[in-house]
Amino acid sequence: MAAQLEKFYDLIGTSTYILLSGVACALAWQADLLSNRGLILAGLVSIWSGRLGAFLVTRVHRVGKDARFDDIKHNTCHFLMAWTLQALWAFLASLPVLIILTANVPATPLGIWDVLGCFCWVVGFGIEVVADRQKEAFRARHPSGERWIDEGLWSQAQHPNYFGEILLWTGVFITGFSVYEGMEWLSAVSPVFVAFTVLGMSGIPMIRARNRVKWGQEPAYQAYLDRTNVLFPYRP
């Protein structure tokens, strides 16, 4: 933090998900609690975090900085808070996986909730990957940032990548419906916290603030906002 190395923020953050899942798998194996459901979820989280981490790190090193930290990296307290919130994000988002892996209950066969949860994860992951690739391709054609993206999934929603992220974590939560007992239903914190963060904290509000500075006075941009959903990528 003293060196203001925000370039490694996303790499460390996404690696934390893999670390948490790995430690939980090791503890479950040691206690003879490791199940196919837990292994599947740990694998899905590792795939998501590995892909997203590689994507974000590649992007920030190509650009040279992370614009999210322009206003806070020179303030030690604010910069420390960003790293602390990142750790909290990784723990709360991973809560269903940690609970499922370490739940001291007899392993149940995979069933409809597992299928539904994995389906939501696959759809959400696919939307996030496609949206990220479409935006990168658009930025390559408009390196000066003179225009907002209005094509592909981004022509149907202003933030389709965040919709994909919320959906995939909702899928992870659903997968545990046949396992949760009592306080374990607090796993619902995972998709709720992810949605709250991207909708009200570090996601959409920060992007909208930057976009208003760039294009807020342009009628075409206002028309884009009026005709597209915020999250759900669908336009009749």
pLDDT tens digits for range 138-147: 988 988 877 8
Helix orientation angle between 95-102 and 160-174, rounded to the nearest 10 degrees: 20
**What's the rounded mean pLDDT across residues 15-28?**
88
Pick 120 or 89 by higher pLDDT: 120
167-183 pLDDT per residue, tens: 999 999 999 998 898 99
| Burial class of residue 168 (count of CB atoms within 10 Å of its CB; 0-12, 13-18, 19+) | buried
Task: Kindly state the helix (H) or strand (E) to which residue 37 belongs, with its residue range.
Answer: helix 36-63
pLDDT at residue 33, as a whole number: 81
Could you tell me which of 135, 229, 230, 121 has the C-alpha nearest to residue 165? 121
Distance CA 171, CA 123 (A): 9
pTM summary value = 0.86
Average pLDDT, the chain: 85
The CA-based diameter of the chain, rounded to the nearest angstrom, is 61
Pick 118 or 16 by higher pLDDT: 118
Distance CA 26, CA 206 (A): 38
Distance CA 3, CA 19 (A): 24
What is the pLDDT confidence band of residue 3, given thresholds at 50, 70 and 90?
very low
Pick 26 or 65 by higher pLDDT: 26
DSSP state of 236: -
- Whether the CB-CB separation of 103 and 45 falls below 8 Å is answered with no
Number of helical (H) and strand (E) elements in the chain, helices listed first: 9, 0
Distance CA 184, CA 179 (A): 9
pLDDT at residue 79, as a whole number: 55
Distance CA 13, CA 7 (A): 11
Distance of CA 231 to CAs 74, 147, 166, 199, Å? 32, 20, 10, 9
Query: Which residues, listed in sequence order, are joined to residue 157 by a DSSP beta bridge?
Result: 229
